[in-house]
């Protein structure tokens, strides 16, 4: 009788454990689906209403491609401002990312080859602070600095690029540093022993090994710059009507409803990014399959 009760208790415990496990899985899946819904619902909303020509987003006025035709018609003032803001955004992102990649890569190499451990640890700690720090703190600090230096450095394209460079450098350092740690440290010394100068050893030995980290740091800097609003708002030129996409959207929403052309621009941008992600994933899967086949044949 005792053995039967023991078996029943064991079965009951296993059943309760399975129920708790299933409930946990359901809650986890529900959380993921809700997060995805909150992420993509606004994009889907804008994309759907990009196919109607009503001035107010959210009011369906029948299917129409007027928003897309007007997006490529520069006779409209909103169209001109949108493409101007897009060009400014790309110019700032590429310029700042290029400078941040150069400075961040040199900084990562310098930190890696620092002999004194306490200096190396301090520099590692200092470069990680901007990553975890609130972006508003960086933006306000830069704004105060430019106000102090306003006698010889007015708010201009240069100050905007400086702000985005400051934003991107820590991420470049964090992208390049792991590649330096993976590199064989004896390669640099071997190159020097074989007669290479320090510059030649840097460009022919170190840089080729850390190219993936440099590229990832550059792309990350471009992404951060394209997506940034706070630092842009605090460092952009105060005269001349210079706008990026983020500041233009902010100004447009304050004046009234979003321009129709902006809905079409958002939909096209989302489609391009989605296509790029799909292509990259397909290529990565093909490369993974080819590597597995090579390993099998070998």
DSSP classification of residue 258: P
DSSP classification of residue 204: I
Q: Which token pair is 50?
A: 């990009």
CA atoms within 13 A on the CB side of 107: 21
Give the DSSP letter string of 104-162.
HHHHHHHHHT---HHHHHHHHHHHHHHHHS-HHHHHHHHHHHHHHTTTT--SSHHHHHH
Q: Is the pLDDT of residue 1 over 60?
A: no
At residue 241, φ and ψ (nearest 5 deg) are 65, 35
User: From the DSSP assignment, how many helices (H) and strands (E) are in the chain?
Assistant: 13, 0
Q: Which token pair is 143?
A: 């704004």
Q: Is the pLDDT of residue 18 over 90?
A: no
Q: Which residues contact 184 (CB under 8 A, 6 or more apart)?
A: none
Q: What is the pTM (predicted TM-score) of this model?
A: 0.79
pLDDT digits (tens, 9 = 90+) for 206-265: 888 888 888 888 988 998 898 888 999 888 887 777 888 888 888 888 877 788 888 888
Q: Are residues 231 and 167 in contact, defined by beta-carbon separation less than 8 angstroms?
A: yes
Q: How confident is the model at residue 39 (pLDDT cuts 50, 70, 90)?
A: confident
Q: Which residues contact 266 (CB under 8 A, 6 or more apart)?
A: 43, 46, 47, 50
Q: How many residues does the chain have?
A: 298
Q: Are residues 104 and 170 in contact, defined by beta-carbon separation less than 8 angstroms?
A: yes
What is the pLDDT at residue 298?
61
3-state secondary structure of 168: helix
Percent of the chain with pLDDT over 70: 95
Nearest to 223 by CA among 90, 44, 45, 105: 90
pLDDT digits (tens, 9 = 90+) for 144-195: 888 888 888 888 888 999 999 999 999 999 888 888 888 877 777 777 777 7
Q: How confident is the model at residue 9 (pLDDT cuts 50, 70, 90)?
A: low
pLDDT digits (tens, 9 = 90+) for 96-112: 999 999 999 988 888 88
């Amino acid at each position: 009788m005792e053995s039967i009760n023991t078996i029943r208790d064991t079965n009951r415990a296993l059943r309760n454990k399975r129920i708790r496990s299933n409930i946990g899985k359901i809650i986890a899946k529900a959380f993921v689906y809700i997060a995805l819904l909150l992420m993509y619902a606004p994009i889907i909303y804008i994309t759907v209403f990009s196919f109607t020509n009503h001035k107010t987003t959210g009011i369906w006025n029948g299917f129409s491609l007027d928003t897309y035709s007007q997006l490529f018609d520069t006779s409209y003032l909103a169209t001109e401002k949108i493409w101007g803001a897009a060009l400014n955004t790309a110019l700032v992102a590429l310029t700042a990312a290029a400078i941040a990649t150069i400075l961040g890569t040199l900084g990562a190499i310098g930190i890696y080859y620092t002999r004194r451990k306490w200096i190396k640890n301090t520099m590692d700690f200092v470069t990680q602070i901007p990553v975890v720090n609130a972006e508003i703190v960086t933006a306000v600090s830069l704004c105060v600095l430019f106000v102090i230096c306003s006698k010889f450095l007015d708010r201009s394209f240069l100050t905007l690029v400086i702000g985005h460079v400051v934003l991107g450098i820590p991420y470049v350092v964090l992208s390049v540093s792991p590649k330096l740690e993976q590199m064989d440290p004896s390669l640099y010394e071997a190159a020097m022993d074989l007669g290479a100068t320090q510059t030649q050893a840097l460009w022919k030995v170190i840089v080729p090994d850390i190219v993936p980290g440099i590229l990832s740091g550059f792309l990350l800097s471009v992404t951060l710059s394209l997506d940034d609003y706070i630092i842009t708002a605090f460092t952009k030129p105060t005269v001349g009507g210079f706008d990026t996409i983020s500041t233009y959207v902010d100004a447009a929403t304050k004046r009234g409803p979003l321009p129709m052309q902006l809905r079409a621009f958002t939909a096209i941008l989302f489609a391009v990014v989605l296509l790029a992600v799909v292509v990259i994933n397909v290529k990565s899967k093909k490369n993974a399959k080819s590597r597995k086949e090579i390993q099998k044949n070998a």
